[in-house]
A and B are shown apart, each in its own frame.
Chain A
Amino acid sequence: MTNIGLEHYLVVSAALFSLGLLGAILRRNLLIVYMSLELMLNAANLALVSFSRFKDRMEDHISGQIMVFFIITVAAAEVAVGLALIVALYRKRASAHTEDLATLKL
């Protein structure tokens, strides 16, 4: 019999979220900051899927997976727009580091 409960999945999710937050804070490369954002979204997805698996009431228990479905779709759109922004910035500044993008004027 399995003894992996909800807590185990939530701990893995929290660890992944912290790693993504660390990358978003520490790294200076815009692409790696974006990958860290993806990591955080994936951690949230893991938490949602595990909540939808471990649920005491039987009705309406698929909603977590539907939420994850929408998050994946929105994340794909967000990545497309964000990478287009990075490419446009790179054309202007010839750099993809956050330190070089510290002024408001283009």
Chain B
Amino acid sequence: MTDLLFYIFSALAILCGLMVVANPFSRNPVTSAMFLVLTIVSLAGLFVLLHAYFIAAVQILVYAGAVMVLFLFVIMLLDIRAEERRRMKLFGIITGLGSVGGLACLLIRTIWNSGVGEGLNPTLEGETRLLGKTLFTQYLLPFEVVSILLLVAMVGVILLSKKELK
């Protein structure tokens, strides 16, 4: 049952990721954003299979909720319908596909042949309590730094979104 769920979720994630990048039916960014939501939800399913329940919940809340709403908001704000179809250069497609395909083959063959997971058993049970305890003891300083980062990002976004940029 878990194996079947793994295959379903990973196939869904890769298919929807392909649809984000190269959708044969529509060049509309809204379609890509919707497929990105599907990818994120199936990745959350994979996180649940890995017993990372808190991370799965955060993934749904932050990515599928906040980030994608931001994306859709900006897509609706910029009116990009007028310049939907442009020809892509054949040379760029061939070289891009070749290099990325080569990189993917290299990565996957290396992972598959190196036997990186041999003898490893799935040990970690996803305890949210343990995660919170570690986050607030061992990783307290990075946590506070991240809050400063969020503040800086907020100030920067407000400054950038003002009408006249100095």
- Listed in ascending order, the chain A residues whose CB lies under 8 Å from chain B are 2-12, 14-23, 25-29, 31-32, 34-36, 38-39, 42, 45-46, 49-50, 52-56, 58, 61-63, 65-66, 68-70, 72-81, 83-88, 90, 95-97, 99
Contacts and interface: CB of A to CB of B under 8 A. Distances in A.
A79 B71 CA distance: 8
The DSSP consensus for interface residues of chain A is: helix
Interface of B: 2-3, 6, 10, 13-14, 17-18, 20-22, 29, 32-33, 36, 39-40, 43, 46-47, 50-52, 54-55, 58-59, 62-63, 66-67, 70-71, 74-75, 77-78, 80, 83, 86, 88, 92-93, 96-97, 99-101, 103-104, 107-108, 111-112, 115-117, 119-124, 126-127, 130-131, 134-135, 139, 142, 146, 149-150, 152-154, 156-157, 160-161, 165
Main secondary structure of the interface of B (DSSP, over half): helix
Contact of A19 (B2, B18, B71, B152): B18
A22 B117 contact: no
A5 B117 contact: yes
Contacts, number: 233
Closest 7 CB pairs of A and B: A6-B117, A23-B21, A18-B104, A77-B153, A84-B160, A14-B107, A5-B117
A85 B160 contact: yes
Contacts of B152: 77
A16 B112 contact: no
Contacts of B32: 31-32, 35
A55 to B, nearest CB: 6
A34 B97 CA distance: 19
Contacts of B161: 84, 87-88
Contacts of B75: 31
Nearest to A6: B117
B13 A3 contact: no
Nearest to B115: A7
A26 B6 contact: no
